Amino acid sequence: MTGLHYRTICVLLVSLLVMGIGTVAFVPGAASAQPVTSFTPSAIPWTTYSKNMNVTTFVAPDGSRDQLWHFLNGAQQSIYVEIFGINNPYIVDLIHQIHAAKPSLVMKFLIGWNSLGYLDQNKWVANDLTNLGLPVKWTKSTDFDQAHQKYIIIDNKTTIVQSGNWAKTSFPESGKISNREWNIAMTDVDVTAAYRAVFDYDWGRGKTYSVADGTGSALSYSESGSSYPRPFATAGTFSGQMNVTPIFSPDTSLQGILYCINRAQVTLDVQIPYFTDVNDGGQVDQVINAILAAKARGVTIRIITDETKDFENISDICVANGIAIGWQDTTYFTAEHNKGIIVDGELVLVCSINFSDESIANNREAGVIIENNNVVQWYQAVFDYDWSIADIVNPITTTTTEPGIDWVDGVVVIALVIVVFSGAYCRKK
């Protein structure tokens, strides 16, 4: 094509816009799948808070233990915990210490009733805390497939959203190995009120623990060592204007995940333990379609997941569609347990939501979308570090596609036809 030919195309297209006929879009090779963006009504509405607030960011293994201790020890009035599982005896010991030092501090614990991998440990913790005089309930068994949420409310002012449980592999002692987990603490009464409303709803429907439920077995203090250098041991502390959107399963999780992915214009980074329920027409397929649509519009995508949990070969889908994917490092980490999304360096999702139909549509889950560049860049540095040490299955590829002769000639023909008919119409008039 000559330069004159290209300039002719530009002139014709501009002419179409000026005449008000509109634009004609041609995207060679665009994916036909489009993300679904309609949602059933939810009991918990989608609400975004645009406010000045304080936020603390921290991750496991680096600084998670110290920051959790900091926030729990700082409680003056109340601590409410709604969590899937507890197997960390050091955290239970801390609760004993806080109760002894501040006997008037109100504490409530709402624990998953049938938490996979925590059945025995949760019973022991429930019995122990009940004997301490603290109220403990199970989430209502018929409300959710799993009560997989992990969040804490302190003094009705601060909410901590976690990807990990109160486990030794989420809040490890110094020098011990752990999962990769993200956590965020938000200090704002309005945001915290949103989480408190969910807690109160679930608490009101919960079942009080009794010895008849079982007493479990004592928790183990054993942990394995690690040489991980903990480069993010210092928490991020931020203050300023932020858009904050709490999300919950089964109410707004799919909406939240698709909101993040569909916003992506330049980069999309996803860190998730696994994808399941692929090709069954459910929620995960909508997530995958949204990722493929992002790739089709030119977004650079990176996915970190756990090789041992690639049950449905999501890596094959990524490779087939030119999406970069890597396995989480297992030298420094026990597992990839984080559930996070970063978009364009402007938006981050921190949550407990796995990419399974159950997690998105049938569990209780909790998360938050934060739109603040400084906060997002902190998590971006963590993701970039994990990508740098991941076992890359499919690397990032950058391709530039120039329009072919046939495609350009098609635009020219259509434009010329419109212009000719428009001119003929004007002369007739």
Nearby residues of 165 by Cβ (< 8 Å), 6 or more positions away? 83, 84, 85, 86, 87, 118, 150
* Per-residue pLDDT, 397: 66
Task: Give the whole-angstrom CA distance, residue 128 versus residue 126.
Answer: 6
Cα 226–Cα 227–Cα 229 angle in degrees, nearest 5:
120
DSSP assignment of 190-223 equals HHHHHHHHHHHHHHHH-EE--GGG----PPP---
User: Chunked in runs of 10, what are the mean pLDDT values of the chain (429 residues)?
Assistant: 40 36 30 41 86 98 98 98 98 98 98 95 98 98 96 98 98 97 98 98 97 97 97 98 98 98 98 96 98 98 94 91 96 96 98 98 98 98 98 73 36 39 44
* Residue 73, H or E segment: helix 64-73
For the four alpha carbons of 43, 48, 51 and 55, in that order, the dihedral sign comes to positive
- Domains, the chain, with CATH or none: 51-213 (3.30.870.10), 242-394 (3.30.870.10)
Using only C-alpha atoms, what is the Rg of the chain? 25
3-state helix, strand, coil split of the chain in percent (to 5) is 35, 25, 40
Amino acid 42: pLDDT? 60
Which structure tokens are listed for 255? 């909406």
Tokens representing residue 371 in the block: 């739109």
**Which pLDDT tens digit goes with each residue over 205-255?**
999 999 999 999 999 999 999 999 999 999 999 999 999 999 999 999 999
